[in-house]
Amino acid sequence: MDERNHGKLSQGLERLSKAHVDPEELLDPDTVPIKNRGGEWIMPDCPSCTERCCLHPEPDSGILLSLQDVAHLVDSGHADLIVGTYTFKRNKRGKILDEIDEMPRLAKQDNGDCHFYESTTGRCHGYGVRPTICRRFPYEVSYKKKSGKAFTRFIGWSQCPTLENGEEHQESIRQMARDAVVDENVSFEDAVLLGEHVEALRQAGFGAYLPPPSECPAVPEPVATDAE
Ligand code: SF4
Ligand code: SF4
């Protein structure tokens, strides 16, 4: 179920992405194969889970939001659930780098549970607008050591109990794997747009989620051509 609105901010982001991100660098969610050990279909057993990924008791933990998540939350009327801004790393001399340091997070309840987590039912009541990372977890993209080819897999370190009869859930597993690829692409797009086009993002309406220009990476000077 996808109830995320694709409104003004999402459309602005899409335009920037088309202008600045090379599509050749993005993975195709429909062709990246799923490769679990032994060829197994591994499905998390969320109803019987006690280590729920929706609980974040540590103050610095929580669901990190991509630019696309921010845009969808704003467009879906949930701007109030976006906490914090993107920030950039600095080198030892204090120069601002084009690498993302902090990211905005999804709001939490006082006890650390995700804002959307309903403890009495153990369910997400924002399921239709949940961020991409929630859609793909516990699947991720990995790369083969020799060829560098991408594949998706169940995350080995996850605390998830799993269902015995995973094969019956092939369609849900395929969707999580596709969302893992989407999440990988979104991370790449964020690195390009935040690292190299932060002022264009500000103009597109992301200003509330960005630091002031003095704390953003310098925009590279356009390269002069012979004709100029
Ligand atoms: S995805 Fe894993 S950790 Fe999260 S609720 Fe389901 S089983 Fe638990
Ligand atoms: S948005 Fe939903 S799935 Fe994601 S952490 Fe919150 S409650 Fe869990």
> What does the pLDDT read at residue 82?
98
Q: Distance, CA 109 to ligand 1 centroid (Å)?
A: 19
Above pLDDT 90, what percent of the chain?
Answer: 83
Which protein residues touch ligand 1 with a CB less than 6 Å away?
44-46, 49, 51-53, 137-138, 158-161
Q: Is 95 exposed, middle or buried (0-12, 13-18, 19+ CB in 10 A)?
A: exposed
> What does the pLDDT read at residue 228?
45
**pTM attached to this predicted model:** 0.92
> What does the pLDDT read at residue 139?
97
Measure CA of the first residue to CA of the last residue in the chain; give whole Å. 52
Host H or E run for residue 136: helix 132-136
Identify the residue whose tokens are 């003095």: 214
Q: How far apart are CA 176 and CA 154, in angstroms?
A: 9
> What does the pLDDT read at residue 77?
96
> What does the pLDDT read at residue 224?
61
Q: Is the pLDDT of residue 223 over 70?
A: no
Q: Which DSSP symbol is given to 84?
A: S
**What is the distance of C-alpha 18 from the center of its chain?**
18
- pLDDT tens digits, residue range 160-174? 999 998 899 999 999
Q: Which ligand is nearest to the CA of 158?
A: 1
**Sign of the four-CA dihedral 111, 112, 113, 116:** positive
pLDDT band, very low/low/confident/very high, at 222 (cuts 50, 70, 90): low
The closest-lying atom of ligand 2 relative to the alpha carbon of residue 63 is 5
> What does the pLDDT read at residue 64?
97
> Considering only CA atoms, which of 107, 3, 21, 6 is closest in space to residue 65?
107
Which protein residues touch ligand 2 with a CB less than 6 Å away?
54, 63, 114, 116-117, 124, 126, 130, 134
> What does the pLDDT read at residue 52?
83
Q: Which residue has the higher pLDDT, 220 or 147?
A: 147
> What does the pLDDT read at residue 130?
96
> What does the pLDDT read at residue 165?
87
Q: Is the pLDDT of residue 226 over 70?
A: no
Q: Residues 91, 83: contact at Cβ < 8 Å?
A: no
**Sign of the four-CA dihedral 171, 173, 176, 180:** negative
- pLDDT tens digits, residue range 27-82? 999 999 999 988 999 999 998 887 789 999 998 899 999 999 999 999 999 999 99
- pLDDT tens digits, residue range 83-131? 999 999 999 999 999 999 999 999 999 999 999 999 988 889 999 999 9
Q: Distance, CA 43 to ligand 1 centroid (Å)?
A: 10
> Considering only CA atoms, which of 23, 20, 198 is closest in space to residue 99?
198
Q: Is the pLDDT of residue 221 over 80?
A: no
Q: Distance, CA 155 to ligand 1 centroid (Å)?
A: 11
Mean pLDDT of 198-215: 96
